[in-house]
Amino acid sequence: MTNNVADHHPGNSFTEGNHEGDFGCSVGELRNLMELRSAEAVARLNDSYGGVHNVCKRLKTSPVEGLSGNPTDLEKRRQVFGQNFIPPKKAKTFLQLVWEALQDVTLIILEIAAIISLGLSFYHPPGGDNELCGQSSGGVEDEGESQAGWIEGAAILFSVIIVVLVTAFNDWSKEKQFRGLQSRIEQEQKFTVIRKGQVIQIPVAEIVVGDIAQIKYGDLLPSDGILIQGNDLKIDESSLTGESDQVKKSLDKDPMLLSGTHVMEGSGRMVVTAVGINSQTGIIFTLLGAGEGDEEKKVKKAKTQDGVALEIQPLKSQEGVENEEKEKKKVKVPKKEKSVLQGKLTRLAVQIGKAGLIMSAITVIILVLYFVIDTFGVQGRPWLAECTPIYIQYFVKFFIIGVTVLVVAVPEGLPLAVTISLAYSVKKMMKDNNLVRHLDACETMGNATAICSDKTGTLTMNRMTVVQAYVGDTHYRQIPDPEAILPKILDLIVNGVAINSAYTSKILPPEKEGGLPRQVGNKTECALLGFVLDLKQDYQAVRNEVPEEKLYKVYTFNSVRKSMSTVLKNGNGGFRMYSKGASEIILRKCTRILDKNGDPRVFKSKDRDEMVKKVIEPMACHGLRTICLAFRDFPADAEPDWDSENEILSELTCIAVVGIEDPVRPEVPDAILKCQRAGITVRMVTGDNINTARAIATKCGILLPGEDFLCLEGKEFNRLIRNEKGEVEQEQLDKIWPKLRVLARSSPTDKHTLVKGIIDSTVGDQRQVVAVTGDGTNDGPALKKADVGFAMGIAGTDVAKEASDIILTDDNFTSIVKAVMWGRNVYDSISKFLQFQLTVNVVAVIVAFTGACITQDSPLKAVQMLWVNLIMDTFASLALATEPPSESLLLRKPYGRNKPLISRTMMKNILGHAVYQLTIIFTLLFVGEKLFDIDSGRNAPLHSPPTEHYTIVFNTFVMMQLFNEINARKIHGERNVFEAIYRNPIFCTVVLGTFAAQIIIVEFGGKPFSCSGLTLSQWFWCIFIGVGELLWGQLICTVPTSHLKFLKEAGHGITKEEIPEEELPEDVDEIDHAEMELRRGQILWFRGLNRIQTQMDVVYTFQTGASSLQGALRRQPSIVSQHHDVKNVSSPTHVALSSVNSTPTTSAVAAAAASPPAGNQSGECVP
């Protein structure tokens, strides 16, 4: 961190002449200024700097024109004030990942067994050749024999290394992909600044100190700054302060804007005063040791305000931070911990692992007992001391066989398959305009049963144009001729539109010749500006005449007001206010309307009803949004009270009502049809009025003629689902949502209520999985609550993107359908892999087990098992997890939350193939030597050379797996397993590669792989038996699953009943118990560490006087904060803590006196 600072600011010590690089203020001064709030800040600004305009002067920038954009100037600013980026945390190195992969229990057991085996093979006891030691030294004695004992141990170690490297490499590439994704997300973030008087958008990282930035509703501020000019600006600073109230910003009260905060309302301009590591967010990161993982960012901002927790932070490693986060998560809306799929898989893997453990234990016990009884009981040999090593070698061999059974039984490929499949899908989804921010979102999407979509921009093109207007008592069905409108009305329209809209909204000439003009900014405002241009008027001239500084008061648009008003001061001291907004809202506040002569006449409620019937409803039925323009004059005598909005926004005079069309995207109806075919209900949630919404929903195909669907307005919806007290009642909601298709005039809370209601609902045969699209700041809560939140990449605000799981880079509904396809594909890939994996597991375990019990030696040797395990787990997961999706995935219904991973059909396939493979293997094992006319390999002594017999068994086994891998490509009982196989080059490569490797192992593997070369005819037989798998697969397909009632499904999700009450978080399905155990262990361990640190500080204080007391006291709060979830902490520590607030020395004495020895202490906090 520190060297970074040094690199960027050569003069960054505060002592050196405080005006670095001839700017009027130094980094340090600006930093100190930005730490102040509200009144203090205003005072300091005015006293030390003479107001914000002087700050701009000192920073050599113009509040109106901005920076010149000259590269040398920008570079100089970067040198002096730093760059606007926070260095990311270092990625894990490959070696760290290797070390992590080595932590796997089964691998550790194998390593130990291999090392013991190695050690024993080099140990030759003097009496080893004694006949009395049984058959151990019998068999063929060739010169390489005694030396060959070490090969097995070495081979096991070697294969362990391979497995570890493959796992580590996969983790590493995943990490790399994820970082690429992060940087891609960061590059996409742009921000609006003014340079050379031009409003341009630049990547956030290129913002420098002195830039003039335009901020508006929905922005996430990229740097610190001071407000130059603001309209009704409200900021949510909870990410820094933890206060949820919105803070009003104004020049005279509180002009300080901080990075990482959200603009909730209004707009304005600010001068950038601190970027990157010098901004408020950056300072916090520096204190925390350069952003520890992107996920923690948000949480930490909140935490660091008290300043105390910071000092201790670096002592705790990553996990410590995570634990604190877990405690914080109760406040934040938790992101889902484990995805549904991972939950199911973890449980399945644990179940299989347990079964494998039991099998391997039994195998070892049987082998040992048989050997002991046979040697010492049946043959009646005495146990001789010099024979001990040989017996031990036998026992080690048995132990290794046991471990191999375990290794084969545990499907360690499962997590790998999930990772590969998700990572692959995420990469490919980028091409389909889905930028996935959370890996598990893509698989959840495959289970989606409902999509709640916005209308504007997602279903429609978000290219608004005015197509009808009602002006001066006349309803024009197309844009009127400018001549037809009276000049004074025309003037009002032009001013009302040009001034009363964000100055950031404008219409630019088309990029290509003959293209449509470009709309920049708010699309509705662009439509109105376009209307002004169509009337052959120029809005820019009006804006130049009335720059933003001259606007007296602005009531910006927000989701509650649904209108916008701007007040201007007239020359005579009076005021004029222009308003625009949803027609039914503004018309209610109008008491007059302009007639065809341009004179106001009285407008009563019956006139309004008539207007709604004759003008507004016909427009709405054509799917138009109606916007009303109005104005009001205030007399010069007394200034009205601008804060009482209801009085200000009344007695308006209506100028005109316009109908704005937003055409449906041409590809949407088809996409919605696909969704409905795939069993996904599409609902439209919009702020528009109900007629417009209904018209658009019919065009899209959300509403089909002749079906009884509900279209509700927000008000009506709330009336139906809330009780007298205004609380939402789930059973009321359950009556409504199944039929609800359109929710119009809805507020963000309605959207959130609907999403939450559908997710929590238990009506119907399966739980709903809901996807939501959103673009506005107000959609944040709904996006977070949904199982998958889609944010719009183009129209979406930063707040919405922050809350989402997937960003649609082209804002198009069809991309959501692609996401569904990929999601289902992930699910199917995992199932394919499982089907393949479990067949192998079942067969290998049974073969090893029975073989060991009958012939005292596993027919498949440890190294062979490891090879099979490697191809099965690692390569098969690669091959099957990267199948590309096909359209046919959209023809079936979604699986839902609690559908098991392994369906009946899959169970049928697994058991069916297992039967075939076992029959073949046992036939070969017990009568193979007769069929092939070779020596039997059974009952070979300890170090005998490999036999052809066992090589054939091994080879056939692998061939059957290879062909079964092709069978595993289909899981729903389809017959054609080769369908589209050439579309997946990875699959073909893996299968052919494995085949080639198998040939090499059998022909040249020799002793390490316990193989001896085979003749051509033996090879053909092995392959022929393998091909038999494909034919057998066809036979299995013929057996109808419906008849096999006895087959159980496996791999269910966790049901609610299985989780103890106190652990139910917001998202029930996502808890994973293994995770919890780990967490608990870590928390206790960190607590112990903290305790010891505190005591050491106290003891140290005693020795050195009070100098390090600061340290001790500083650390206390973080320990106190951790107390609440350890129930029986020993009392002495309480003494140490409770006395913190007494005088320093007594607290130290008390702590030292009360604390037992440090070592004991950490042991005590284990509940």
What would the DSSP string read from start to end of 711-746?
EEEHHHHHHHHB-TTS-B-HHHHHHHTTTEEEEES-
Helix or strand holding residue 564 (H, E): strand 563-569
Q: How far apart are CA 907 and CA 656, in angstroms?
A: 68
Q: Which helix (H) or strand (E) holds 272?
A: strand 262-274
The length of the chain is 1167
**In terms of Cα–Cα distance, which of 1069, 447, 341 is closest to 819?**
447
Contacts of 464 (CB under 8 A, 6+ apart): 519, 523, 524, 526, 527, 530, 625, 660, 661, 662
Q: What are phi and psi of 707, to 5 degrees?
A: -110, 150
CA distances from 688 to 458, 581, 713, 745, 1024 (A): 14, 11, 9, 5, 67
Q: What is the C-alpha separation between 433 and 822, in angstroms, rounded? A: 12
8-12: Cβ within 8 A, 24+ apart = 8/78, 8/79, 8/82, 8/83, 8/276, 9/79, 9/80, 9/81, 9/82, 10/79, 11/80
CA atoms within 13 A of residue 35's CA, in its CB half-sphere: 11
Dist CA 546 CA 541 (whole Å): 9
Helix 149-188 × helix 388-409 angle, to 10°: 30
Beta bridge partners of 624: 661
Catalytic residue among 232, 432, 454, 798: 454
Which residues, other chains included, contact 194 with Cβ-Cβ below 8 Å and sequence gap of 6+?
64, 65, 66, 200, 211, 212, 213, 214, 269
Q: Are 808 and 792 in contact (CB under 8 A)?
A: yes
DSSP assignment, residue 1054? P
**Is the sign of the CA dihedral 101, 107, 113, 117 positive or negative?**
negative
Q: Give yes or no for a contact between 1120 and 1133, defined as CB atoms under 8 angstroms apart.
A: no
**Residue 963: C-alpha distances to residues 412, 840, 920 (Å):** 21, 12, 14
454 is catalytic: yes
Alpha helices by DSSP H, listed for 559-689, are 583-588, 605-611, 617-621, 645-648, 668-677
Gap between the Cα atoms of 68 and 66, Å rounded: 7
Q: Is 704 exposed, middle or buried (0-12, 13-18, 19+ CB in 10 A)?
A: exposed
Enter the tokens of residue 339.
Answer: 């995805």
Query: What count of other Cβ atoms lies within 10 Å of the Cβ of residue 143?
Result: 7
- Please write down the HEC assignment for all residues of 287-349: HCCCCCCCCHHHHHHHHHHHCHHHHHHHHCCHHHHHHHHHHHCCCCCCCCCCCHHHHHHHHHH
| β-strands 652-661, 465-471 pairing | antiparallel
Sequence-ordered alpha helix ranges (H) in 560-604: 583-588
Q: Rounded to whole angstroms, how far apart are CA atoms 809 and 790?
A: 10
| Cα four-point dihedral sign 724, 730, 731, 733 | positive
Where on the phi/psi map is residue 223: left (φ > 0), alpha (ψ -120 to 50), or beta? beta
The structure tokens 């960190």 sit at: 1086
DSSP character for 274?
E
Phi-psi region of 133 (alpha: psi -120 to 50; beta: other; left: phi over 0): alpha
The type of residue at 615 is V
At 542, list the tokens.
């009006």
Q: What residues are annotated to the active site?
A: 454
